[in-house]
Amino acid sequence: MTREELVRTIRTKRSLLCVGLDTEESMLPEPFRSLHHPVRAFNHAIIEATHDLAVAYKLNLAFYEARGTEGWQDLESAVALINKVGGCFTIADAKRGDIGNTARKYAEAFFTNLAFDAITLSPYMGRDSITPFLGQRGKWAIVLGATSNEGAADFQFLNVGNANVPLYEQVIKNVSRWGTPNDLMFVVGGTRPDVLKAARAAAPHHFFLVPGIGAQGGDLNAVLDAAITPDGGLLINSSRGILQAGKGDDAVSKARQAALGLRLEMEAALRRRGVL
Amino acid sequence: MTREELVRTIRTKRSLLCVGLDTEESMLPEPFRSLHHPVRAFNHAIIEATHDLAVAYKLNLAFYEARGTEGWQDLESAVALINKVGGCFTIADAKRGDIGNTARKYAEAFFTNLAFDAITLSPYMGRDSITPFLGQRGKWAIVLGATSNEGAADFQFLNVGNANVPLYEQVIKNVSRWGTPNDLMFVVGGTRPDVLKAARAAAPHHFFLVPGIGAQGGDLNAVLDAAITPDGGLLINSSRGILQAGKGDDAVSKARQAALGLRLEMEAALRRRGVL
């Protein structure tokens, strides 16, 4: 999906919502547990129930790899359904990062074979671990800038170099020179508005993928205030808040309600800021 | 495999060799290409031919994930054979790094389900992305310190904080406090002996996994001079130098010869330094 298509989708759906399909077998609502492929069936139900509200879906690879071949098939099945339904941006939340020949293999795995639009990447190994994912029309690298977890402070917030800026800012500044706002985004956590503001100053035109809303404590309106752009510029992820909205027969309709609630808040914010 | 078992294996085999099974379908020797599961068959042949020379095997996940479910089955099959043959340390070269609940899923995928001894991790997300892999007897986190690729210079060599040390040194110093030499190693590339020396000063008792020998230009004896310890303290990886040693019917015997050549050099160095 190109940037123009993504922005058009945001405006049509009046949404910045990314649904995180971090689906855990042990957390599935009761009615799905006895099914033949429980994770697959639940993901399909969630996709069917939310695809008109969601701009994007993010699948965290760990949750699928933890279940081996069966998990990998669930992953393939979910992406295939999202692509069949159409009109949604797909993110492999893989946080990969490796040398050039290996990075090219990951690009093959996620862009070509699984047909994801985007993959998340760690910047630690530098330029040749990122560039193999750039320059392919409609495909995106989403590089970790500042994450929303406690451990982010250990290295991302250390001051670096002569300019004495935190590492995450230096990462955003340097990496943004390797790609363009058409093939490169950044992960910026939603728990610290000051960090979102600094990240936005470092990369005014790039989309940010924002985790950390909900379970991790980030406030949606504070995120929008800090980092929205004239074309939206944000994909705001919610995983547990949607997947675990209900426990019983109403789990899927509760998930839709949760997604709709977020979408309505996003729409109001987009209107206030003239994006819609 | 515990540290004592690893050190005993190094002394018994007189070797620090880690064979990197970065097996690419397009690079397979001719005789394997027509087989039903060519990558699986080649990996099995390499393992059979080198397991008395190798202390460890490292499987780079990208090369398996690029081929979807079939690749994942090849991965499972290779680890199962290595574990069946016995006496070798197994490394999932995954370079993962994610928040706590996700990290625990990866630990489940690689330690519990696939029965790897170790997984490589990126430090960018900090402590809670590393600790879920620590404290399990015989299981190891191998954290990226300084890598051997060109892009390493982009961030790993930036000076950080007041002490003005490069990021990779700060990473090694901080991370080494989170684990012990019994459950934590570092990746330190073999192309820069000065970096190996600085890394060794920062973590005198931890094992280093050293890529970059051979195809990437690192010199084996310079690596040994810079970072060997009284119990070895190194796993030195060779991938292409072994897997691509021959092209035809002699590919497997050429692979063994290449592995044997490295082992003999390692033995000589281990003797010179009194490890044997």
CATH number, domain containing residue A242: 3.20.20.70
Residue B100: its pLDDT value, please? Answer: 87
CA dihedral B270, B271, B272, B273 (to 10 degrees): 50
Residue A180: its pLDDT value, please? Answer: 98
- The two three-digit tokens of residue A92, written as one number: 């492999």
d(CA A168, CA A172): 6
Instruction: Give the mean pLDDT of chain A.
Output: 95
DSSP A66-80: TTHHHHHHHHHHHHH
- The two three-digit tokens of residue A232, written as one number: 């939206």
Residue A218: its pLDDT value, please? Answer: 75
Tens-digit pLDDT profile for residues A204-256: 999 999 998 876 677 899 999 999 999 999 999 999 999 999 999 999 999 99
- The two three-digit tokens of residue A144, written as one number: 């970790």
| pTM across the whole model | 0.96
Tens-digit pLDDT profile for residues A69-112: 899 999 999 999 999 999 999 999 999 999 888 999 999 999 99
Residue B140: its pLDDT value, please? Answer: 98
Residue A161: its pLDDT value, please? Answer: 84
Residue B212: its pLDDT value, please? Answer: 84
Q: Do B98 and A62 touch (CB under 8 A)?
A: yes
Interface check for B126 against chain A (CB to CB < 8 A): the answer is yes
**pLDDT above 70 coverage of chain B, percent:** 99
Start-to-end Cα distance in chain A: 20
State yes or no: is A95 an active-site residue: yes
Interface check for A59 against chain B (CB to CB < 8 A): the answer is no
Interface check for B122 against chain A (CB to CB < 8 A): the answer is yes
Q: Is the pLDDT of residue B215 over 90?
A: no
Q: Which pLDDT band, with edges at 50, 70 and 90, does B213 fall under? A: confident
d(CA A24, CA A197): 33
Place of tokens 């669930």: A74
Residue A9: its pLDDT value, please? Answer: 98
Going by the DSSP 8-state scheme, the letter that residue B130 receives in this structure is T
Instruction: Give the structural domain span for B91.
Output: 3-272
Range from A39-43, B14-18, B63-67 carrying the lowest mean pLDDT: B63-67
Size of interface A-B (CB pairs under 8 A): 182
Residue A205: its pLDDT value, please? Answer: 97
The ipTM value here is 0.95
Tens-digit pLDDT profile for residues B25-50: 999 999 999 999 999 999 999 999 99
Each as own residue / partner, the long-range contacts of residues B197-204 (CB below 8 Å, 24 or more positions apart, any chain) are: B197/B226, B197/B227, B198/B166, B198/B169, B199/B145, B199/B146, B199/B168, B199/B169, B199/B172, B199/B227, B200/B226, B200/B227, B200/B229, B202/B169, B202/B172, B202/B173, B202/B176, B203/B145, B203/B172, B203/B173, B203/B176, B204/B229
Nearest residue in A to B127, CA atom: A151
- Taking 3-state DSSP, the helix, strand and coil percentages for chain A, each rounded to the nearest 5, stand at 50, 20, 35
Residue A100: its pLDDT value, please? Answer: 87
Q: For B95, which of A72, A98, A155 is closest by C-beta distance? A: A98
What mean pLDDT comes out for the span B164-191?
97
DSSP B191-222: S-HHHHHHHHHH-TTS-EEE--BSTT-B-HHH
* Closest C-alpha to A125, from B206, B238, B168: B168
Tens-digit pLDDT profile for residues B68-99: 889 999 999 999 999 999 999 999 999 999 98
Residue B233: its pLDDT value, please? Answer: 97
Instruction: Give the mean pLDDT of chain B.
Output: 95
d(CA B67, CA A114): 10
Interface check for B97 against chain A (CB to CB < 8 A): the answer is yes
Contacting B residues, span 168-187, partner chain A, CB-CB under 8 Å: 170-171, 174
- The two three-digit tokens of residue A22, written as one number: 């971090």
Q: Do B122 and A153 touch (CB under 8 A)?
A: no
Residue A163: its pLDDT value, please? Answer: 75
Q: Give the bridge partners for B218, in sequence order.
A: B213
Higher local confidence (pLDDT), B247 or A216: B247
Q: Which run of H or of E encompasses B241? A: helix B240-243
Count of domains in chain B?
Answer: 1
> What are the strands of the beta sheet with B159-160, ordered from one edge?
A165-166, A159-160, B159-160, B165-166
Residue A215: its pLDDT value, please? Answer: 66
Place of tokens 């996620």: A110
